[in-house]
Amino acid sequence: MTGLTQAQLDTFDTEGMICVENFLSPQQTERLLEQSKQLLAQCDLSNHPKTTFKTSDEDHIGDRYFYESADKISYFFDTDAFDKDGNLTIELPKSINKIGHGLHIKDPLFKEVTFDNKVKDIAHDLKFTEPQVLQSMCIFKQPVDAKSTERDNAVPPHNDATFLYTSPQTAVGFWIALEDCTEENGCLSYIPGTHKTYPVSKRFVRKDGLKSGCTFEQLQKDKPVEGEYKMVPCKAGSLILIHNSVLHKSEKNRSNKSRYAYAFHVIDGVAEYDERNWLQVPYDGGSNFSRLF
């Protein structure tokens, strides 16, 4: 299978999200799942600032470890991973929310799948001129624990352009399920068509070139959200394409099965990517991200 069919392109255009089943073979999916478990096992807390992560206005503030992770394999924890004294509340591998944002640079297996010809064909079909991989990450939704306590691993409603801002907007998320995703373990959901009707009302920017961290800059008033979220359960190996402006989210994992995914975002190099964006490539001080083709 290469690229997208015209029907898939049309659906992506009208809905803002599509699911491409069997994008990876079972063997490829298994290798990436195993690799993400290896990476989880390699996390060393002895020198770690215990950075937590959540995609939301209140919690998404972060620290230097987070902002300078564009070309690294860095670990970010669930917001309920540590108690008030900074001790882990759960075993280390199960407390990690995501690993990013340079897996496509630093990890050979994730690099291989990111720069696969199938990805290039899709970028071509989506009319990218100079597709560049901006960031990549393993996203973990751990199951409920032995006492059936739910973890704080819901991803609140957002659009990706808030965090991956280009002028004009060009970001597309390539989100790959490494395990079966169900309504119970926190599959993605979205409101179809919101990429056309719901404006990108804010962006996440560096303050004083990072001296004061990052903040949300309000670009215009938030529009009240209307419409029903549509769940997108999918099998391991499926690819979900996410338009930069579509409203999407995922619920907590309420099951006893984990939900691991690999996601990367592609922007167009012909659009402006300015120095106020939170994510910058450190080695050239700018936005010289890895070209897809």
Ligand X SMILES: O=C(O)CCC(=O)C(=O)O
Instruction: For residue 278, give the nearest of 170, 181, 162 by alpha carbon.
Output: 162
Report the nearest approach of ligand X to the CB of residue 86 (Å). Answer: 26
Please, which residues bridge with residue 201 across strands?
Answer: none
Minimum Å distance from CB 164 to ligand X? Answer: 9
Tell me, what DSSP letter sits at residue 277?
A: B
Nearer to ligand X, 105 or 242 (CB): 242
Nearer of residues 19 and 139 to ligand X, judged by Cβ: 139
Longest CA–CA span in the chain (Å) reads 55
Nearer to ligand X, 20 or 284 (CB): 20
User: From the CB of 261, what's the least distance to ligand X, in Å?
Assistant: 5
Task: Specify the residue, 120 or 249, whose C-beta has the smaller distance to ligand X.
Answer: 249
- SS3 call for 52: strand
Q: How far is the CB of 131 from ligand X (least distance, A)?
A: 17
To the nearest whole angstrom, how small is the minimum distance from the Cβ of residue 188 to ligand X?
6
Interface with ligand X by CB under 6 A: which residues? 139, 155, 160, 173, 175, 188, 242, 248, 250, 261, 263
Nearer to ligand X, 73 or 263 (CB): 263
Sign of the alpha-carbon torsion through 229, 230, 234, 239: negative
User: Per residue in 228-250, is it b (16+ CB within 10 Å) or e — as a string?
Assistant: ebeebbbebbbbbbbbbbbbbbb
Q: What's the min distance (Å) between Cβ of 212 and ligand X?
A: 26
Closer residue to ligand X, CB minimum distance, 196 or 207:
196
DSSP annotation of 234 reads B
CB-based contact 269:276 (threshold 8 Å): no
Which residue's beta carbon is nearest to the bound ligand X? 250
Distances from the Cα of 102 to the Cα of 43, 135, 236, angstroms: 15, 6, 22
